[in-house]
Amino acid sequence: MEGPESSSGTSSSVVADWSLVFWTLCSVILPVLITLWCSFQRSRRQVLIRDIFRKSKHDWHYTDLFGQPSYCCVCAQHILRGAFCNCCGLRVSEGCLKKADQLFLCKEIMMRSNGGAPSSMPHHWIRGNVPLCSCCMVCKQQCGTQPKLCDYRCVWCQYTVHDDCMMDCLKTEECTFGEFRDLIIPPYYLSTINQMRKDKRTNYEKVVPYCRKHWMPVIILANTRSGNNMGETLLGEFKILLNPVQVFDLSKIAPAKALQLCTLLPCNTVRVLVCGGDGTVGWVLDAIDEMKIKGQERYIPQVAILPLGTGNDLSNTLGWGAGYAGEVPVEQILRNVMEADGIKLDRWKVQVTNKGYYNLRKPKVFTMNNYFSVGPDALMALNFHAHREKTPSLFSSRIINKAVYFFYGTKDCLVQECKDLNKKVELELDGERIELPNLEGIIVLNIGYWGGGCRLWEGMGDEPYPLARHDDGLLEVVGVHGSFHCAQIQVKLANPVRLGQAHTVRLILKSSKMPMQVDGEPWAQGPCTVTITHKTHALMLYHSGEQTDDDASSLSEQDHVREHTDEDA
C-alpha cells in the first residue's frame, strides 16, 4: 500500500522542483531579454536620430534633459528630452524631428541672391521657448510667462514679442541685429562679397555694413578640448547670438583656415575671441604670423581670450581672468570684447641647439609668449603631461589638473631632482655672464603672471624692482631655490632671486639632462645652448575690468602699456 503513495509523492516533488527551476530561470532571463531589447531599440533610435542630424540643415544636438521648461515647436507639447538647434534655438521632441526640418528654416549664413545686392533682411521669428526674463519689444512686458508654447523670438536680434503683439508689419520689418549688430557678420554681406569675388571686384568698402563706422566683426575660435570642457556649450551659445559662420571649433578646423575669413572683412577692425588655454592662444598667434608671411598684414585681427585652460597666465596678464567656469553670461563676454583696448604683446624665438661636434640635427625652434624655464616647474609640467597622455580622460577638470601639479610639486620637495643647477648651466644676459647663486631653477618671463596666477617678478612686493612690461622688448630672468621656494612665492611668503632684465638671453646646459618648458610644453633636454631673441609683436586686447589685489599693484604698469601703444599708433 505504501508503494503507490511514495511514487506519487516523489513525482509531485519532481514537478515542484522543475517548476522552481523554470520560474527561477524566467526571473533571471526575462530581465536580461528586456534589457537587451531596450538596448537594441535605443541604439536603433540613436542611429535614426544621427541620420536625421546628418541630413538636416539645422545644427541639432540631443539632450536627455532640458535645462529649463521646454515645449516642442511642432506639436506644442511639454518635453523633458529631445533635440535643440545650436544655431536658431529650435526645440523639438524625437518624433517631430523630421517635421521640424520641413517646417522651419535655420539661420542662413548667406542670403539667397535674387539678382540684386541686398543691404537688409527681415526678422527671422521662432515661436516659443523664449529666454527667461525677456521683454516684448512692443508692450515692454515680460514674455514667456505662460506654461505653454507661446511668444516669438528673432534668431538674429534676439528681440521677443507676445503672441498678441505680433503684427503683420513685424513679420516683414527690417532686422537691426540688436545689441551685437557691430559684431555680427550679416548674411547679406557675405552674399554680396561672394558675388563681387565672382565678378573679380574688390571694392568691398562700398558694401553695407563694411562702410559702417563702428563695425568690428568678431570671430570665435573655441578649443573644445581645453581645461574644463566648456567649449561645446560656448560654441552653441555664440552661434545663437552671432552668425554661425563666425564660430569655429578648433578640434575640427585649424586656426589658419578659420582666420581666412578676415580677408573678406574690413582691414584692421576684426577681433578674434580665443576660447581655450594659453596653448590654444599660442596656436592662434602662430596662425596669425603665417598670415603676415602670406602678405595679409592689413587683415591681422586683434585677439581677446576666454580662459578655459589650467594656468591661463596670459589671459590673467591681459585682464581676462584666471579661468572661466560659466559665471559670466556670454552676452557680457561679447560686451567686454567690444569695449576692450588694443595693446601689443612681445613674442620671442627660443632656439635650442644640441651640443656635439657631429650633431647634424637642426636646432629646435619654439615661439614663446609667456615664459621659458628649466628646473622644478618644468619637471612638474613634464610629469603632468606624461600622466595626461596615459589617461587623458582623467584630466577634464581644472581642479584635478591643479591637484596633480600640487602632487608632483610636493614630490619634488622631497626628491630635489634639479638641485645644483647653478653648477650645470651658464647664463648670459645681453652677452654678459651672470654669476649664479645656489639654484634649482631659472625662469625667463615675458608676462606678469606665472604658475597659474603668481606675480613672480614682484614676489612679496616689499622691495624695489625694475618695472616689467610685456611690450618693452625686455625679458625678466629669475631664479628659484626649489619647489618649496616656488610655493612660498605663490603665497607671497618669499621673493624670487631676480637675476636681471635683458633683450637677449643665452643659457648653456653643460652636462646631464634637465627638464625644460616653453609656455607649458615640457621636454627632457640634454646638453645644449638655449638662445632667446625677440621675434615679433602680437596685437592683443586688454580688458580693464574689476581689479584683484594682485592686479592693483600692476595697474600703473598697464596704463604705461596703453600709453606706449597709443604713441606707436
Q: d(Cα 531, Cα 521) in Å, to the nearest integer?
A: 17
Residue 568 has pLDDT above 70, yes or no: no
Q: Does residue 74 contact residue 126 with C-beta atoms inside 8 Å?
A: no
Q: Within a domain: residue 373?
A: yes
Domain termination site, one of 339, 367, 384: 339
Q: d(Cα 389, Cα 70) in Å, to the nearest integer?
A: 40
Q: Within a domain: residue 47?
A: no
Residues 246 and 364 in one domain: no
C-beta atoms surrounding 328 within 10 Å: 14
Residues 359 and 323 in one domain: no
Residues 270 and 289 in one domain: yes
Q: What is the mean pLDDT of residues 361-368?
A: 89
Region of residue 130 (phi > 0: left; psi between -120 and 50: alpha; otherwise: beta):
beta
Name the residue with higher pLDDT: 447 or 48: 447
The overall average pLDDT reported for the chain is 84
> In sequence order, what are the residues at sequence separation of 6 or more whose Cβ sits closer than 8 angstroms to the Cβ of residue 95?
75
Residue 96 has pLDDT above 50, yes or no: yes
Residues 91 and 228 in one domain: no
pLDDT at residue 411, rounded to an integer? 56
Q: Which of 51, 78, 250 is nearest to 148 (CA)?
A: 78
Q: Within a domain: residue 125?
A: no
Q: Within a domain: residue 79?
A: yes
pLDDT at residue 202, rounded to an integer? 73
C-alpha cell at 245: 559662420
Residues 226 and 253 in one domain: yes
Q: What is the mean pLDDT of residues 290-313?
A: 91
pLDDT at residue 413, rounded to an integer? 53
Least confident of 278-282, 408-412, 440-444: 408-412
Q: Does residue 132 contact residue 68 with C-beta atoms inside 8 Å?
A: yes
Residues 306 and 351 in one domain: no
Q: Within a domain: residue 6?
A: no
pLDDT at residue 386, rounded to an integer? 67
The CATH number assigned to the domain holding 427 equals 2.60.200.40
Per-residue model confidence as pLDDT tens digits over 337-346? 999 999 999 9
Residues 379 and 326 in one domain: no
- C-alpha Rg value of the chain to the nearest Å: 31
Structural domains counted in the chain: 3
Q: d(Cα 304, Cα 550) in Å, to the nearest integer?
A: 21
pLDDT at residue 569, rounded to an integer? 39
Residue 91 has pLDDT above 70, yes or no: yes
The model's pTM: 0.84
pLDDT at residue 27, rounded to an integer? 83
pLDDT at residue 182, rounded to an integer? 93
CA 452 to chain centre: 17
Residues 252 and 231 in one domain: yes
Q: Within a domain: residue 365?
A: yes
Surface-to-core class of residue 255, CB atoms within 10 Å of its CB (0-12 exposed, 13-18 middle, 19+ buried):
buried
Residues 333 and 357 in one domain: no
Q: Within a domain: residue 552?
A: no
Q: Which of 287, 288, 308 is nearest to 298 (CA)?
A: 288
Residues 505 and 381 in one domain: yes
Name the residue with higher pLDDT: 229 or 273: 273
pLDDT at residue 117, rounded to an integer? 59
Query: In this structure, which amino acid lies at residue 547?
Result: Q
pLDDT at residue 273, rounded to an integer? 97
Q: Does residue 369 contact residue 305 with C-beta atoms inside 8 Å?
A: no
Per-residue model confidence as pLDDT tens digits over 458-479? 888 777 888 888 999 999 999 9
pLDDT at residue 389, rounded to an integer? 65
DSSP class per residue in 190-259? HHHHHHHHHTT---GGGSTTTT-TT---EEEEE-TTSTTS-HHHHHHHHHHHS-GGGEEETTTS-HHHHG
Per-residue model confidence as pLDDT tens digits over 505-564? 999 998 888 999 998 888 999 999 999 999 999 999 999 875 444 444 444 444 443 444
Residues 430 and 507 in one domain: yes
pLDDT at residue 538, rounded to an integer? 95
Residue 430 has pLDDT above 90, yes or no: yes
Name the residue with higher pLDDT: 550 or 50: 50
Per-residue model confidence as pLDDT tens digits over 381-414? 787 766 666 666 665 566 666 666 566 555 555 5
The CATH number assigned to the domain holding 307 equals 3.40.50.10330
Residue 415 has pLDDT above 60, yes or no: no
Per-residue model confidence as pLDDT tens digits over 6-25? 566 677 777 777 887 888 88
Q: Within a domain: residue 435?
A: yes
The CATH number assigned to the domain holding 86 equals 3.30.60.20
Per-residue model confidence as pLDDT tens digits over 169-183? 787 788 989 999 999
Per-residue model confidence as pLDDT tens digits over 134-170? 899 999 999 988 889 999 999 999 999 999 898 877 8
- Three-state SS letters, 151-195: CEEECCCCCEECCCCCCHHHHHCECCCHHHCCCCCCHHHHHHHHH
Residues 291 and 384 in one domain: no
Domain span at residue 392 reads 347-536
- With H, G, I as helix, E, B as strand and everything else as coil, classify residue 265: coil
Lateral strand order in the sheet of 82-85: 60-63, 82-85, 91-92
Per-residue model confidence as pLDDT tens digits over 106-124? 998 887 765 555 678 889 9
Q: d(Cα 276, Cα 308) in Å, to the nearest integer?
A: 4
Q: Where residue 271 falls among pLDDT bands split at 50, 70, 90? A: very high
Is the backbone peptide bond immediately before 244 cis, with ω within 30 degrees of 0? no
Highest mean pLDDT (candidates 179-188, 356-365, 481-490): 179-188
Domain termination site, one of 296, 313, 339: 339
Residue 222 has pLDDT above 90, yes or no: yes
Surface-to-core class of residue 341, CB atoms within 10 Å of its CB (0-12 exposed, 13-18 middle, 19+ buried):
middle
Buried b (16+ CB within 10 A) or exposed e, 452-482: bbbbbbbbeeeeeeeebbbbeebbbbbbbbb
Widest CA span of the chain, in angstroms? Answer: 122
C-alpha cell at 111: 542670403
